[in-house]
């Protein structure tokens, strides 16, 4: 005869279809996300990652079939399976409450009777508002004494005392009788406690009355104690809330950045980083309008900063870029007869004329310097040449060619946003039509069988056909959402590069197109917003520091929102 140890908690639940459907093991089993029972037959390896950790959710074979209509063997073989929680359609009690919905309870029998293969299909088609579980509260055993009339508390006529017992109490009494209680106890328990002998009625009535009065005093004392405990619990709850608020107000510091920045294989000097990024972003936005070749801007920077800027002017990509910008400026002024070339040093004198007519004044470039000729240009270092190049870029922004380019790109951006919104609305309408189509086809199929519920295979065939169409709609909607989110970033100006965030301490965070090797954020430190001529510094961060930067940006955004709330509260 086999002996089962007391500590053994493993239990097999038989499957009506044959075999063992699931195995309960409170010691070695793992918890099913749906039924919250520890089992050894869990399946599913969700591939979703949250904060570099894979989703740990698993379900038992019975729950994954009844609640979601998925075959356990197929789920176990899938390498790209996503759990119901990560898909957003988990119908367990915890997830339903978290979404603000009511738990469904045991709904699998209702789903099968109405022709659905699973609870998930039933809720998706009919909605979760129709089906929810209401817990029935059973009253515990309460002693009810028949009311005594005035001046008859000790009267002999009060013969019966009514005592109500719960089912649990009665079950325990029967258990004690079956477990071999003494004959005396059996007689006592079998006797009807509601009827009391006449000879003992006076004493019994008096005792019951005393008990009722004592219980009333006890209840008052207990109520007072409960009230005091509730106050103490509220105080305990307030303390962690205050502690959490203090933790939220802790200042988050920005990590130490790296002052060395590399662009196009060239290490930028700290004083040149800002000017280099300004020029590269200008070429990225207006390269098409200026008819720039691919990589031409990077070649100019490489020539300027790698020590090759002293080559002959006719072979210099920097000189060609300067002449190209000057030509746009002169044509906008109506000076079409002027023809500049790299072999003719007059282009340097033309820069001086543009600088003298401009509202921008650069102290590094006095007017007499341009009168002395090209020899003065050759004496300029790379930093000053870069400043001169950015000056010409800024001047071209005022030309008609550039303004037309900006306007056309803004119009295209608005049209793309409008097109994306129309696609999203069309996809939503199509999704509603497919849901209605699924309901109609299921109803027609049941009607064709004279009201007999569909088989699982018949139901799955209809659902899989509709799901194929639904997946196409979801992909179209996701593409439209992605396009809209990309175009909605920043301002309405399609060619303007906006910072990620501005800090009160003169810190500006950028995500630039010209620095997109790892999509990392750059930091521009102006020192202070109060300085008239700020001396900026640029810093880069490693990919490991990216979470810290994003955390700091979230902190200053939350700090700004809190300050705005406080200001509005003071005003009101």
Question: Residues 430-459: pLDDT tens digits?
Answer: 888 988 988 898 889 888 888 888 888 888
279 and 393 inside one domain: yes
Residue 490: which pLDDT band, with cuts at 50, 70 and 90?
A: very low
CB 146 within 8 A of CB 161: yes
| 461 and 511 within one domain | no
Comparing CA positions, the residue from 469, 421, 418 lying closest to residue 441 is 469
Residues 69 and 42 in one domain: yes
Query: Radius of gyration of the chain from Cα atoms?
Result: 40
Biggest CA-to-CA distance, the chain: 136
Please give the Cα distance from 557 to 256 (Å, whole number): 20
In-domain check, residue 168: no
The verdict on residue 198 lying in a domain is: no
| HEC assignment per residue over 65-123 | HHCCCCCHHHHHHCCCCCCHHHHCCCCCHHHHHHCCCCCCCCCHHHHHHCCCCCHHHHH
Residue 177 lies in a domain: no
At 245-288, the pLDDT tens digits run 544 556 788 888 888 888 877 788 888 888 898 898 898 888 88
Share of the chain above pLDDT 90, in %: 6
When pLDDT is averaged across residues 496-506 and rounded to a whole number, the result is 79
| Residues 6+ positions from 206 with CB-CB distance below 8 Å | 153, 154
User: Which of 383, 398, 413 delimits the end of a domain?
Assistant: 398
pLDDT exceeds cutoff 60 at 363: yes
Per-residue confidence (pLDDT) for residue 178, from 0 to 100: 47
Which residue range is the domain that position 310 belongs to? Answer: 272-398
**Structural domain count of the chain:** 4
21-25, 70-74, 218-222: least confidently modelled range: 218-222
Domain boundary among 382, 398, 414: 398
Residue 349 and residue 284 share a domain:
yes
Is the residue at 224 inside a domain? no
Region of poorest pLDDT, from 82-91, 222-231, 295-304, 470-479: 222-231
Least confident of 143-152, 362-371, 419-428, 511-520: 143-152
- DSSP category for residue 540: B
Q: What are phi and psi of 288, to 5 degrees?
A: -70, -40
Mean pLDDT score across all residues of the chain? 75
CB of 201 closer than 8 Å to CB of 158: yes
Exposure class string for 233-251: b at 16+ Cβ within 10 A, else e: eeeeeeeeeeeeeeeeeee
Nearest to 340 by CA among 359, 353, 358: 353
Among residues 104, 126, 148, the one where a domain terminates is 126
60 and 79, same structural domain? yes
At 101, is the pLDDT very low, low, confident or very high (cuts 50, 70, 90)?
A: confident
- Same domain? For 94 and 114 the reply is yes
CA 391-277-374 angle, 5° bins? 40
Q: What is the pLDDT of residue 177?
A: 47
Q: Is residue 380 part of a domain?
A: yes
Examine the domain organization and report whether 288 and 384 are in the same domain.
Answer: yes
pLDDT digits (tens, 9 = 90+) for 59-74: 999 999 999 999 988 8
DSSP 105-174: -S-HHHHHHTT-SSHHHHHHHH-TTS----PPPPPPP-B-PPPPPTT-TT-TT--B--B---HHHHHHHH
352 plus 415 within the same structural domain: no
Cα–Cα distance for residue pair 410/494, rounded to 1 Å: 5
Token pair of 149, please?
């009339």
For residue 324, tell me if it sits in a domain: yes
- SS3 label, residue 21: strand
Residue 90 has a pLDDT of 92
Residue 371 has pLDDT above 60, yes or no: yes
In a shared domain, residues 381 and 281: yes
Asked if residue 461 and residue 561 are part of one domain, the reply reads no
* pLDDT above 80 for 222: no
Q: Which of 270-274, 394-398, 515-519 has the highest mean pLDDT?
A: 394-398
- Residue 353 counted as domain residue: yes
Tell me the whole-structure pTM to 2 decimals. 0.48
Whether residue 278 is found in the same domain as residue 377: yes
Inter-residue contact 79 to 54 (CB < 8 Å):
no
Give the DSSP letter string of 192-209. -TTB--STTHHHHHHHHH
Cα 494 to the chain's mean position, in Å?
A: 27
Nearest Cα neighbor of 121 from 478, 474, 456 is 456
For residue 424, give every residue at least 6 positions away whose Cβ sits within 8 Å of its Cβ, in sequence order, or none.
Answer: 477, 480, 481, 484
Distance CA 384, CA 482 (A): 42
| 9, 37 Cβ separation under 8 angstroms | no
The predicted structure's pLDDT at residue 423: 86
276 and 356 assigned to the same domain:
yes
CA atoms within 13 A on the CB side of 234: 6
CA 429 – CA 449 distance, rounded (Å): 31
Residue 395 scores a pLDDT above 80: yes
Give the number of other Cβ atoms within 10 Å of residue 194's Cβ.
Answer: 11
Q: Is residue 208 part of a domain?
A: no
Query: Which whole number is the average pLDDT over 486-492?
Result: 46
276-330 confidence digits (pLDDT tens) = 988 988 988 888 888 888 888 888 888 888 765 555 666 788 888 988 899 899 8
pLDDT tier at 485, thresholds 50, 70, 90: low
Nearest to 454 by CA among 119, 122, 115: 115
């Amino acid at each position: 005869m086999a002996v089962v140890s007391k500590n053994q908690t493993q239990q097999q639940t038989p499957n009506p279809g044959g075999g063992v459907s699931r195995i309960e093991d409170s010691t070695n089993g793992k918890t099913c996300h749906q039924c919250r029972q520890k089992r050894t037959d869990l399946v599913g390896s969700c591939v979703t990652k949250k904060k570099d950790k894979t989703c740990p959710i698993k379900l038992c074979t019975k729950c994954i079939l009844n609640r979601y209509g998925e075959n356990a063997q197929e789920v176990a073989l899938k390498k790209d399976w996503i759990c119901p929680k990560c898909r957003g359609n988990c119908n367990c009690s915890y997830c339903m409450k978290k979404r603000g919905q009511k738990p469904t309870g045991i709904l699998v029998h209702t789903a099968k009777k109405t022709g659905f293969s699973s609870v998930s299909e039933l809720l998706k088609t009919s909605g979760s508002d129709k089906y929810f579980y209401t817990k029935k509260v059973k009253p515990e055993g309460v002693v009810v004494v028949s009311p005594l009339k005035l001046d008859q508390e000790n009267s002999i006529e009060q013969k019966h005392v009514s005592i109500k017992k719960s089912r649990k109490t009665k079950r325990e009494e029967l258990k004690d009788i079956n477990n071999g209680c003494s004959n005396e106890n059996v007689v006592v328990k079998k006797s009807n406690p509601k009827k009391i002998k006449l000879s003992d009625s006076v004493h019994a009535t008096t005792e019951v009355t005393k008990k009722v009065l004592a219980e009333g005093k006890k209840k008052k004392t207990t109520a007072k104690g409960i009230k005091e405990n509730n106050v103490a619990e509220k105080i305990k709850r307030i303390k962690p809330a205050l502690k959490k608020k203090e933790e939220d107000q802790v200042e988050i510091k920005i990590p130490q950045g790296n002052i060395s920045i590399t662009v196009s294989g060239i290490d930028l000097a700290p004083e040149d980083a800002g000017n280099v990024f300004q020029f590269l972003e200008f070429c990225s936005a207006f390269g098409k309008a200026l008819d720039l070749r691919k990589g031409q801007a990077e070649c100019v920077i490489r020539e300027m900063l790698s020590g090759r800027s002293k080559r002959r002017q006719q072979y210099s990509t920097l000189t060609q870029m300067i002449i190209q910008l000057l030509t746009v400026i002169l044509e906008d002024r109506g000076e079409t007869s002027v023809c500049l070339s790299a072999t003719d040093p007059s282009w340097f004198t033309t820069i001086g004329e543009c600088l003298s007519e401009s509202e921008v004044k650069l102290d590094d470039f006095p007017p007499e310097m341009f009168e002395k000729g090209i020899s003065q240009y050759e004496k300029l270092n790379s930093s000053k040449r870069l400043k001169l190049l950015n000056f010409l870029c800024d001047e071209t922004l005022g030309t008609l060619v550039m303004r037309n380019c900006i306007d056309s790109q803004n119009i295209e951006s608005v049209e793309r946003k409008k097109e994306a919104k129309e696609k999203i609305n069309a996809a939503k309408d199509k999704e509603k039509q497919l849901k209605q189509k699924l309901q109609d086809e299921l109803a027609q199929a049941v009607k064709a069988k004279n009201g007999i519920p569909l088989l699982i295979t018949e139901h799955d065939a209809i659902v899989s056909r509709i799901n194929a169409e639904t997946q196409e709609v979801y992909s179209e909607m996701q593409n439209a959402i992605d396009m809209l989110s990309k175009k909605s970033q920043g301002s309405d100006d399609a060619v303007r590069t906006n910072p990620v965030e501005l800090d009160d301490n003169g810190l500006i965070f950028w995500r630039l197109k010209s620095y997109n090797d790892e999509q990392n954020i750059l930091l521009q430190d102006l020192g202070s917003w109060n300085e008239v001529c700020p001396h900026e510094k640029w810093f880069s961060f490693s990919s490991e520091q990216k979470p810290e930067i994003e955390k700091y940006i979230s902190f200053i955004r939350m700090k700004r929102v809190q300050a705005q709330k406080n200001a509005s509260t003071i005003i009101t």
